[in-house]
């Protein structure tokens, strides 16, 4: 999977807000750059998140637009934040900064997973099998990615961790990644995770002849309470990650997850299914 080293989520949000304010002021890029005494390419780079503005740059832009105090304060803080290195910067060689930032800042994360156990729920052994499958001859790469994966998980032990709502296809649980012993341990970890008050894990059973989202890939939706942080959807494709910030498209993704949730088992029934499948794997371990 390619690592996204492009602009972070906050950087993209700042660029979108500055562009929106210019359009509300009914100014063209040419007129605005003239008022600022800048070249047009400099402004365009800032508005497309290809250039990282300084706090002084944003102050000058907001002076031209006559932005109100509350919006001005929020955007200046956003500008400072995009220049701050997050914990994920230490893993920039193996971890997508944009994704990690969304995950770190969200108030709620909703996930629909059809292929593997969601990353935040994976045990070390389960994750190792998946990563080794991508990098079979590179032990350093495997260890580095495992460190990043466990660092992500550790963040969710903090008191202000987001609410996590996982929807998982039953076939994910029955896929023998790493063999019966690894899967039995992974299912135990899911049972333990589901006992946490801020975590919901529900299974969409294979018994459904048809389910919403059939044929669709895995989706994450990051939800925010801050006014300048728009909800963002993340979709995995063969070519890499795709981030969706358009309000209508994110709403469609959210509606799809709502329909999938309606087809899912309850939390209690899902935990019972975890335990039943775990016993099946344990039987193979001792066979």
Number of other residues whose CB lies within 10 A of the CB of residue 191: 15
| One-character DSSP codes across 36-100 | HT--HHHHHHHHTTSS---HHHHHHHHHHHT--HHHHHHHHHHHHHHTS--GGGGGTTTS-HHHH
DSSP H/E element including 139: helix 139-155
DSSP H/E element including 182: helix 180-194
Q: How far apart are CA 248 and CA 240, in angstroms?
A: 22
pLDDT per residue rounded down to tens, the chain (287 residues): 444 445 667 787 888 889 989 999 999 999 999 999 999 999 999 998 888 899 999 999 999 999 998 889 888 888 887 766 666 667 666 666 678 878 887 889 999 999 999 999 999 999 999 999 888 888 888 999 888 888 888 777 777 788 999 999 999 999 999 999 999 999 999 999 999 999 999 999 987 666 665 666 789 999 987 666 778 899 877 666 788 888 899 999 999 999 999 999 999 999 999 999 999 999 988 76
Q: Please give the structure tokens belonging to residue 143.
A: 């260890």
Number of other residues whose CB lies within 10 A of the CB of residue 41: 12
């Amino acid at each position: 999977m390619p690592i996204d080293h492009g602009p972070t989520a906050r950087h993209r949000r700042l660029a979108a807000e500055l562009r929106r304010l210019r359009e509300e002021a009914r100014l063209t890029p040419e007129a605005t750059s003239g008022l600022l005494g800048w070249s047009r390419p400099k402004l365009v780079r800032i508005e497309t998140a290809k250039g990282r503005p300084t706090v002084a740059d944003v102050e000058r832009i907001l002076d031209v637009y006559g932005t109100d105090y509350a919006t001005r304060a929020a955007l200046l803080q956003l500008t400072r934040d995009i220049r701050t290195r997050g914990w994920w910067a230490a893993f920039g060689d193996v971890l997508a900064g944009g994704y990690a930032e969304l995950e770190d800042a969200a108030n709620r994360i909703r996930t629909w997973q059809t292929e593997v156990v969601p990353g935040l729920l994976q045990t070390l052994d389960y994750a190792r099998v998946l990563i080794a499958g991508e990098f079979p001859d590179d032990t350093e790469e495997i260890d580095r990615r495992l460190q990043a994966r466990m660092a992500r998980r550790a963040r969710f032990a903090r008191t202000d961790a987001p609410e996590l709502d996982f929807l998982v296809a039953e076939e994910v649980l029955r896929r023998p990644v790493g063999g019966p012993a690894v899967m039995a341990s992974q299912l135990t970890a899911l049972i333990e995770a589901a006992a946490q008050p801020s975590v919901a894990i529900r299974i969409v059973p294979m018994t459904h002849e048809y389910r919403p989202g059939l044929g669709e890939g895995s989706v994450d939706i990051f939800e925010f309470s801050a006014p300048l942080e728009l909800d963002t959807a993340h979709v995995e494709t063969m070519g890499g990650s795709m981030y969706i910030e358009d309000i209508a498209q994110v709403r469609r993704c959210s509606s799809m997850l709502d329909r999938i949730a309606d087809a899912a088992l309850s939390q209690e029934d899902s935990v019972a299914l975890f335990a039943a499948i775990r016993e099946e794997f344990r039987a193979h371990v001792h066979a």
